[in-house]
């Protein structure tokens, strides 16, 4: 992981102000659960400072805040992501997971269903389907 982190840092430095490279770096931290509090959350916050309309950055920030137990638990950032892009599937899925953990199962089920219905790539659809089925089993 450390070598990958070095490569992402180098790419961000070479690309200077290119937010796409910064976004890839933030995704690396979030997707691998690596140094999220120390590096991932600050990376997402830096992107948001430069572009307050970047829904993906808010999604990544909220997800990493949720996973690390950081202040606010990530819900505000996830909701901001969805305000900016209501069709952002990853933010819908991340919000569903957060709502499920908070015990708001009806709202979580609605978000899981949106992911199932809207995810044409299938990347999160299968996970959401599985999570929704498990949620329904818990409710019965």
Q: Where are the domains of the chain?
A: 1-85, 87-140
pLDDT for residue 75 is more than 60: yes
pLDDT for residue 89 is more than 90: yes
The residue length of the chain stands at 140
Q: What is the pLDDT of residues 2-41, one digit of tens each?
A: 655 555 555 555 556 667 778 877 887 788 877 888 888 9
- pLDDT at site 35: 83
Rounded Cα gap, residues 84 and 8, in angstroms: 26
- pLDDT at site 108: 96
Q: What is the pLDDT of residues 92-135, one digit of tens each?
A: 999 999 999 999 999 999 999 999 999 988 889 999 999 999 99
DSSP state at residue 72: G
Token reading at 105: 């199962």
Q: How confident is the model at residue 74 (pLDDT cuts 50, 70, 90)?
A: very high
Helix (H, G, I), strand (E, B) or coil at 16: coil
The runs of H, that is alpha helices, within the chain are 2-15, 19-32, 41-50, 55-68, 75-84, 89-101, 105-118, 125-139
Give the predicted TM-score (pTM) of the model.
Answer: 0.86
CATH no. of 1-85: 1.25.40
- pLDDT at site 14: 56
Residue, of 22 and 42, whose pLDDT is higher = 42
């Amino acid at each position: 992981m450390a070598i990958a982190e070095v490569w992402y840092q180098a790419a961000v430095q070479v690309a200077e102000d290119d937010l796409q490279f910064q976004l890839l770096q933030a995704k690396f931290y979030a997707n691998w659960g690596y140094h999220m509090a120390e590096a991932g959350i600050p990376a997402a916050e830096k992107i948001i400072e430069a572009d307050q309309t970047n829904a993906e950055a808010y999604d990544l920030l909220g997800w990493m805040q949720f996973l690390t137990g950081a202040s606010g638990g990530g819900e505000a950032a996830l909701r901001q992501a969805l305000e900016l892009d209501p069709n952002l599937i990853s933010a819908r899925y991340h919000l569903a997971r957060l709502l499920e953990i908070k015990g708001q199962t009806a709202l979580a089920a609605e978000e899981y269903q949106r992911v199932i219905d809207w995810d044409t790539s299938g990347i999160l659809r299968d996970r959401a389907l599985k999570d929704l089925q498990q949620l329904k089993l818990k409710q019965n």
